[in-house]
Amino acid sequence: MKNQLNLLLIFCVAILFFSCENKAPATPKDLLKENLIPKPVSVNGTGSSFAITSATEIFINGDSEELKRVGEIFANELKPATGFDFPIKNTDAAPATGNFYFTLIKNDKLGNEGYQLTITEDLVQLEANQPAGIFRGIQTIKQLLPPSIAKNTAQSGPWEIASGSITDYPNYEYRGAMLDVSRHFFGVEDVKKYIDYIASYKMNVLHLHLTDDQGWRIEIKKWPNLTTMGGTTEVGGTKGGFFTQEDYKEIVSYAMERHIMIVPEIDMPGHTNAALASYAQLNCDGKARDLYTGIEVGFSTFCTRRELTYEFIDDVIRELVAMTPGPYIHIGGDESHETREDDYIYFISRVQEIVAKHGKQVMGWDDIVAGELKSNAVAQHWAKEENAKTAVDKNLKVVMSPAKKAYLDMKYDSTSTLGLHWAGYIEIDTGYDWDPANYIDGVGKENILGVECPLWTETVTNMDELEYMVFPRLLGYAEIGWSPDSGKKWDEYKIRLGKQKPRFEAMDLNYYASKLVPWSE
Ligand code: TNX
C-alpha cells in the first residue's frame, strides 16, 4: 500500500514536471503598474505573470471567420520580435496551460467593442461579445508585453505579461482619425500603416479626405479625368497620385479586418478645383480651371443649379457606395465661400437625397447645418460653435473635432517647422486636456457620437512628417474617445505617455518629444 502511494506520488510529480517543461519561469509583475493608453475601465492585479514561449498557441472558441482573422493578425504581429509561430487552433473548451484563449460570450456591459481579459500564470483569456472586442483587447495585450515586441527583427524576450484582469469598453462609439490624402497623396501602404497606428490605440474610424482643390484621389470609372488629370498634382507642385478602385477596396478590407470603418469624403460644393480642372462642364462658365497646388481655401465651387452637376455626383456616390460597407458618406460642405447661400442650401439637399437614395447617411463639416438635413445626418464640429448648437437644435448627432484642440496639423508651438497655426498651437497637454461633452454649452454627451482628430496635409509630405505631427497627440485623442470621463488627469496621463518612449523607439517612430512629458529613460 505504501509503495503504491509512493508510486502515485512520483507519477504526479512527473506529470507536473513534464507539463511545465515548456514554460519559462515568469517574473512576478504588477498589472496595476502597467501604463496602458487608452486607460482601461478597470484593472485588477494578482501579482504573478504569464510567459509566452515557443510552444504558445492561440485557441479560438467557435468557428467565426472574423475571430480567426483577428487571431491571425495578432500572430503575425507577434512573430517578428518573438520568432515564434503561434498556430491558430479551434477549441470548445479552455486549452492547456501556456496558451492564449479567445472566446465569444454574451455580456451586455461590454457592448460591441468591450472585452474582458483574464491573465493567470497558465492562460491569457480574452472574452468579448464580438470579434471587434477581441481585437481591441489584443491591443491591450500588446501593450502589456515588453516594448521590444514592436520590433520587426527577433528579440530575446522574455515575453511576460502581468497577471490579473481587465474589464474594458469604450466611452464613445465613434473614435476617429482623418487623413487628408488630397493636399499630399499617401499611397496604400502608408494608409495601411496609419490604420495600424490608430488600431493600436483602439480607434475605430478612419475618415479619408479623398478630394480637394489640389487633387482628386479616388478613381471614378465613369469620370476618368478626375484622377488621370485631377489626381496628378499635389501641394507644392510635386506629383500626386490616386487610388484605383482596387487599391481603395484593399484599404477598406484591411481596415475592416481590424474593425475600423472607413468614412470616405468627397468635399463639395467648395474645395472642388481638381474636379473643375478635370471637366469643364462642371463649371458654370463652362471653362476648365487650371490645376491648383497652393494652399488657399474657399475659391472653388460646383455649378449648383445645373442638373449635370447632380448626374455627376450621383455617379461618384454610386461608385463610392459600392466600395463602402460603413453607413456614412462624408460630403464635406466646408468653406464654400464661392457658393451663394441659397445655392449652398439647395445643393446640400440635393446631395443628401443622392446619398439617401444609395442607402447611406450624410456626414459633413458643421457648415452643413445651414441646410435642411435628415435626422440621421451627422455634423462634424470643427470651427463654429453656433453650428454645433444648431446641429443639436436640429436633433443631429455631432462628431467633435474642434480645430483648437483636435487638429493634428496645428503646430505644437512657435518653434514647430511643420504644421499650420490658424487655430492656435496644440501642445500635448492642450490636445489631451479637454472634454468633448463639456466643450460647447448645449452640446452634451447625449448629442455626441464621438471624437475625431483630423490631419490636414498642406505641410505634411511623407510618413516621417506625418508621424511627427501625429505622435504623440494621437494617443490623447484615442484616450478621450475610449476611456471613462472620470479619472482623466493630465498629470497622471503625462506619466503614462512618457512611459511609451521605448515603445515609440521600438516602432522606429519619428515622434515629437515634448518637454511637457517626463519621457522614461
Ligand atoms: C480648414 S477644417 C479646412 C481644411 C484645411 C484646414 C487646415 C476644414 C473643414 N477645412 O480645408 O486643410 O483648415 O488646418
pLDDT at residue number 24: 54
- The β-bridge partners of 44 are 165
In whole angstroms, what is the distance from residue 446 CA to residue 397 CA?
A: 8
The answer to whether 335 is a known catalytic residue is yes
Q: Using CA positions, which residue lies closest to atom 5 of ligand 1? A: 456
Cβ of residue 407 lying under 6 Å from some atom of ligand 1? yes
Q: What is the DSSP pairing of strand 261-268 with strand 328-332?
A: parallel
Residue 244 neighbours by CB under 8 Å, 6+ apart: 219
Of 47, 10, 13, the residue nearest 29 (C-alpha) = 47
How far away, in angstroms, is 173 Cα from ligand 1 center? Answer: 24
C-alpha gyration radius of the chain: 25
Check pocket membership of 426 for ligand 1, CB cut-off 6 A. no
Whether pTM exceeds 0.85: yes
Dist. CA 69–CA 65, nearest whole Å? 6
Query: Which of these CATH numbers, 2.30.30.360, 3.20.20.370, 3.30.379.10, 3.30.70.100, describes 31-168?
Result: 3.30.379.10
Write b or e for each residue in 306-334: b if 16 or more Cβ atoms lie within 10 A of its Cβ, otherwise e.
eeebbebbbebbebbbebbebebbbbbbb
Dihedral, 262, 266, 267, 269 alpha carbons, nearest 10: -150
Nearest to 59 by CA among 27, 84, 96, 30: 96
Alpha-carbon distance of 273 to 335, in angstroms, equals 13
Torsion of the alpha carbons at 493, 499, 502 and 505, rounded to the nearest 10: 20
**78 contacts: CB under 8 Å, gap ≥ 6:** 52, 84, 86, 149
Return the HEC string of 199-264.
HHCCCCEEEEECEECCEECECCCCCCHHHHCCCCECHHHCECCCECHHHHHHHHHHHHHCCCEEEE
Does the domain at 174-488 match CATH 3.20.20.80? Answer given as yes
Verify whether ligand 1 is closer than 6 Å to residue 382 (CB atom): yes
Q: What is the pLDDT along the chain (521 residues), one digit of tens a residue?
A: 556 656 655 655 555 544 444 555 678 799 999 999 999 999 999 999 999 999 999 999 988 999 999 999 999 999 999 999 999 999 999 999 999 999 999 999 999 999 999 999 999 999 999 999 999 999 999 999 999 999 999 999 999 999 999 999 999 999 999 999 999 999 999 999 999 999 999 999 999 999 999 999 999 999 999 999 999 999 999 999 999 999 999 999 999 999 999 999 999 999 999 999 999 999 999 999 999 999 999 999 999 999 999 999 999 999 999 999 999 999 999 999 999 999 999 999 999 999 999 999 999 999 999 999 999 999 999 999 999 999 999 999 999 999 999 999 999 999 999 999 999 999 999 999 999 999 999 999 999 999 999 999 999 999 999 999 999 999 999 999 999 998 789 999 999 999 999 999 999 999 999 999 999 97
Closest ligand 1 atom to 382 CA: 2
31-168 and 174-488 agree in CATH topology: no
Query: What CA–CA distance (Å, rounded) separates 60 from 460?
Result: 41
Could you say which of 72, 257, 335, 465 is catalytic? 335
Per-residue confidence (pLDDT) for residue 486, from 0 to 100? 83
> Where along the chain do its domains lie?
31-168, 174-488
297 close to ligand 1 (CB < 6 Angstrom): yes
Closest residue to atom 9 of ligand 1, CA basis:
334
Q: Report the atom number in ligand 1 closest to the C-alpha of 367.
A: 9
- Alpha-carbon torsion, ordered 34, 40, 44, 47, to 10 deg: -20
Q: Is 437 in the pocket of ligand 1 (CB under 6 A)?
A: no
